[in-house]
Chain A
């Protein structure tokens, strides 16, 4: 099918874009990479009256060092992140994740901001940003605010963004010493949305005890799902195989509550979640060394 008619604006500056968004609000949709929005428009699941195309706004596309962390412009292409040395060095978890998002042809257009703002529960990046304790900068014509990733996702395809607000920047804090990370997902075919996936970050104290642990799943709920009981079981303990098994079992049996669909039953998803939790935790603890 073909998209319904819309008014098209292609501002060259952020200021102009925010003014347009302020004017049109609910009627308007921002067009980033278009890799989620245009399919829904082609099938007329979305029929925005106004499209504000962000692709000409150069100031929204950057990968910058911020101390030992990073600042990423919302319009940075997924492909640019995948190829960036700064990302590889300062956000290795993100680097490890990028090739699992869709296919190269999609990543050439898709942006990090569009992916996060879309809030697809099967998306990798929201979970990864959550595990990294990222922050999001939301701007409108009236001002800006900084929101923790954990507070941004409200539900399936739903975020804390107001209709006149735009996500403009993603902030990834510096990694602490003795930190480890890992990412894994299971999909039916490389590049497809995952049946289950998980991002893990851990940190040890000087005595080698687990000081912080985050295990964030995707494709098992309405958005990223943090396994709180699993973290509680890990924190304060010396990491080892038995502890990891316990945490992985808690995560799969108690922390998440996946649904079944034509691709995988709920039980199968739990089973995958347990295996992936175990593997990522093991890997993450190894990397603290």
Chain B
């Protein structure tokens, strides 16, 4: 097949500017994983249902499997790697710490997407009710935990973040 023309994408990911030439059909999720080697963003379903690929686009949680990388040109992305700039050597993000503490993960496949969903949620809802937490998580599938400990982890994280 003849090669499609490439587009130049300049995008800030976790505070760092990257520039790459990509085919327009490249999904943002694949761009992050294959072009930038940021494999913390997981890919489960590629039709917007599982939430594993959730990242922040200009501060808002979005599905990276439902955006083309070219569309991120000039925008700012934060992935799960962005929560711990030093790779977690010194300390985890309080939200991650709470997930560890409350057993909010088992296999961890869903966790990056859930964390990135929760970052803006907790900014908007510093004191969320259980109902609000469950609603916020409704767009993320977890096949291991049964969600119960995830809810507990969010409550714990909210508390830590409030008392800073």
Contacts and interface: CB of A to CB of B under 8 A. Distances in A.
Given A1-B46, A105-B51, A53 B139 contact: no
A5 B57 CA distance: 24
Interface residues of B, number: 31
Contacts of A105: 51, 54, 61-63, 117, 139
A42 B43 CA distance: 12
A223 to B, nearest CB: 22
A108 B25 contact: no
A3 B139 contact: no
B23 A5 contact: yes
Interface in B110-147: 117, 121, 134-136, 138-139
Contacts of B134: 190
B71 A55 contact: yes
Q: Which 4 A-B pairs have the closest CB atoms?
A: A103-B139, A8-B24, A39-B47, A108-B60
Contacts of A190: 134-135, 138
B18 interface: no
A43 interface: yes
Interface residues of A, number: 30
7 contacts: A5-B4, A5-B23, A6-B24, A38-B68, A39-B47, A106-B66, A106-B139
Interface string B46-89: 11100100100100111101111011000000000000000000
A109 to B, nearest CB: 5
Given A2-B25, A8-B7, A104-B136, A35 B48 contact: yes
Interface in A221-267: none
A34 B64 CA distance: 11
Interface of A: 1-8, 10, 34-35, 38-39, 41-43, 51, 53, 55, 79, 102-106, 108-109, 189-191
A42 B65 contact: yes
B154 interface: no
Q: Is the interface of B mostly helix, strand, loop or mixed?
A: mixed
B27 A42 contact: yes
Nearest to B54: A105
Most chain B beta carbons < 10 A, residue from A7, A189, A190, A191: A190
Contacts of B65: 38, 42
A43 B46 CA distance: 8
Given A8-B7, A190-B135, A42 B47 contact: yes
A109 B63 CA distance: 9
B62 A108 contact: yes
Contact of A34 (B7, B23, B60, B67): B67
Nearest to B58: A108
Contacts of B63: 35, 105-106, 109
Contacts of B47: 39, 42-43
A191 to B, nearest CB: 5
Contacts of A38: 27, 48, 65-68
Nearest to A99: B135
B139 A4 contact: no
Contact of B48 (A79, A104, A106): A106
Contacts of B57: 108
